[in-house]
Structure 1
Amino acid sequence: MLKRVLLLSGVGLTVALLWFAISNYRTAVPLAEENLRGVALSISSAVENAAVHDPTFHSLNTLRPKDLAFLAVLDRDGIYRFHSNPDLIGTRSDDGRYSAVLQKADAIEGRVVLGTGEKAYEFLAPLYLPDAEMILRLTLHTYRADAVVRKAELNMTILIGLLLTGWVMAAFIYRFALREELHHLEMARQEGLARLGEMGATLAHEIRNPLAGIKGFAQIIEKKPIDSRNSEFGRLIVAEVLRLENLVTSLLSYAKTERNAVSLFWLKELIAHSVALVSAELAQQKITLVTDCAESVQCRGDRDRLGQVLLNLVKNAVQAMPDGGTLTIAAQTRGRGVVISVSDTGQGINEEDQARIFEPFFTTKARGTGLGLALCKKIVEEHQGTISVTSAAGKGTSVIIELPGGVWE
């Protein structure tokens, strides 16, 4: 979407600049013509004024404007009465346009090419004197008048060149960015494949161990179907099957991509429900429970998924205190959101392991799946929250969850 907006913006800016440059050039051409016409009219007025006071036209020899190429005055028969080139005075002009000027009683103007190859501006107009009607012929240089046209052409050329350069550079940058994007995608794909391979190896290891136990116990039962130890072997088989079932359940939960069922619920009730599920372990291991959550604290999110997070954290805390200790669960509001903490006084986590505890399949437990904390992190982040751990070996662990207010999908 952003690329399309940038492309359309670039095309729009390019069209606008081209329109401005072409419009400026097209305006410059008639402006130059108007400048030439103005100079011609000024000279015509000066010639007419001089001719009235000097019928011999000798005073016209002193009339030398910068833009004037040559000046001539013809009578009705086409005879030059005055010319900037004295050799042509008294000769007849072979240009029949002078008669059209007298008939129309209006000026004729336009661009002409001189014998030298120079492009000039010619202006023919009737010249009314007290005793005669003549024709004024002016030829003007166009250098100064066409300066505005040349400037407009130069500006248009520079602008087009800059636009072309800009688009070429943009094409190179886009190609480079595309290559970088493809490179990053390929690296991400390779990294994903590497993770998938590592995950597959870990998963195969986690599955192989229970299967080996199940297979061994089943073979013993098969060989000695009436052995007195079969009941114990059967119990071990069931335990290993449950272990596999828990692993598959954790995998399915971790891979779940369904939308969260958002609702508003009392957080104290959720804490009580999670604690009730492990009450037997708390009593058996002589763990003291401390909860600190006001009745009014509410949380907005998927109650079942957040309950799963809380239950996983409570179970981890219980497992970290096999010889007893204190489990503390606290919750309080912060702004529109809530902060939940689960703390224990158990074994703690080594500093080198703390950076990896949220990685899938990473575990320090002999029979753990390594998906518990990874699943907690995934669910919390789905709720746009954060989860962090502070721990010290031999002093216990605290897990802090911060959930913002609002609604998530």
Structure 2
Amino acid sequence: MSASPHKLRLTLGLGFLAFIIAGSLLLLAWLRQREREESNHLFQALAQADAEFVRRMNLPRSGKLAQDLEQLLGMQIEFRPAGTAPANTEDRLTIRLDEKNDMIFTRTPVVSSLSLRDPATLNAFIAFWLISGLMGWLLVRERLKRAQSERLAMLGLVATSLAHDIKNPLASIQLHAQLMTPQNEEDAQAIKLIENESEVIAGLVNQWLHLANPLPPKLTKLDLTDCIRGVARNIEAQARHAGVEVEINLPSPIWIMGDSQRLAQAVRNLMINAIQAMPRGGRLIVSGQPAESGFELRFADSGTGFSELALAQGTELFFTEKEGGMGVGLNIVSSIITAHGGTLKLQNDPKGGAVIIVLLPLLPA
């Protein structure tokens, strides 16, 4: 199984940091080599020019002339009989003046003057860091996209297989539940439970199919409050079993253009997540109010709230901190809300608990 997105980011980030460090060291070495080459070229050119000057002017090859040239050029100069000078090095150069004399130039060993205080050096490093940062960002983004595409391709195969294997027996269960005639209230409640749970299973199958192959929503005029209350009724048994009280404080109607099935799926995911976040019971309050760009829904629970990592990456595909979780629920909610022209935001209540804010556009009055 491939690494999760945040682990992949960490791995790629560490690799990129190592690349930046290694690249900066190589750049520094290259700049120092260039500095040394330029210094050697200048040293040789200056020595050749000075020797040519002495030769053309036929100046005496004396110690005094050597001292005068040393003060002028800033390097040690010496005249020796031809053929007696030591071998050339990076800091010492011997030039034949005539058949009898050599002229020896010796400079102080070159010390690198490279510093980030030097504008040219600083600009070179800034350019390297910027280019490397851009390339790294593009590579990381492409790698993450490819990893997600591979996951989605695998998910598509699994979802298609599950849909085929589950939908046929599920349709049979739903049909028989509808044909059953209850003999008493207990039978009626049991049949209703079968129908509700069958709808839950169908919703889960559709959720996986939507994740593998998302389609645009089929928009119709609907009452958002009615949609939310319908989901709350369907999960009432699950909430009661978990000791969670679901409180809905919404005006009615709230008219929007939406896909009732997709929005119910998104609301159900949010409510189920909240219930699972309160294993010892608690309260889920669904409230809302008009906003400038639509209607703002708030799903607030009394659980432990989101971690810092979940606040930053909670809606990413396959991100989960829940044991046994798949990390698809909030991602699907986010994609559904976005497809309806809305936004999704995760935050924590200062008094405790998680808050999810959903903003959806309203129908014009």
Sort the TM-score into its range (normalised by shorter chain).
0.3 to 0.5
Give the TM-score, by structure 2 length.
0.45
Give the TM-score, by structure 1 length.
0.41
Work out which of the two has the higher radius of gyration on C-alpha atoms and give 1 or 2. Answer: 1
